[in-house]
Amino acid sequence: MGVSVNSTYLTASSDIESYSERGIDIPEHIKENLSKLQHKGDSITGSVGEFSMSDVSLMSKETGVEFAHVTVGDTTYLIRGDVKCTVIPYHLFSKMKKKGGTWDFHSHPHNDDCIPSDSDKNLIKKLSRYTGQKESVIVTPNGKTSTFSESGVISVGTIPNKIDADRQRALLELFGGK
């Protein structure tokens, strides 16, 4: 099996309405990633820095499930969970222990759910023992983040909002301003 990270919500469904349900198109790279992550346990790999926190937040909003982002060496792994948890496969966890991998962040599929579950805190406790990692981050569909340790939340924040120049011009034209 592997190690599990959980949402703190006890409901079996997410309260999030996806962009698709609201008729809003999502970026092509997100669609492509989601096409490869159809079922719990599916994973994709990329280079370090791939699959940003913003991407994963959007993916959780679109699907209503958790995702875990792990880096080992120069490879990043993105693993799909379900509405309650994501399992980091045992073979990947073993690789993390041997090569000093990091559990960079994971998503909770409910807006504002930035509280680490007992499973989240237990995993960071294990990683602290094996790799020296003492903190990780939770991101929510509405962009809230929390950095946490085995003791709980250390800090809270939001994903920086990056708007490309074309969109910025369009918003300024629509709403006025300079």
Residue numbers of the domain that contains 171:
2-175
Span 131-146, pLDDT tens digits: 999 999 999 999 999 9
List of residues 6+ apart from 80 with CB closer than 8 A: 37, 38, 39, 40, 41, 42, 43, 63, 65, 66, 67, 86
Span 17-60, pLDDT tens digits: 666 666 667 788 889 999 999 999 999 999 998 899 999 999 99
Structure tokens at 172: 């300024």
Q: Distance between CA 104 and CA 84 in Å, rounded?
A: 19
Report field, pTM of the whole predicted structure over 0.95: no
- Say if CB 71 and CB 101 are below 8 A apart: yes
With tokens 């790799």, the residue in question is 131
How many folded domains does the chain comprise? 1
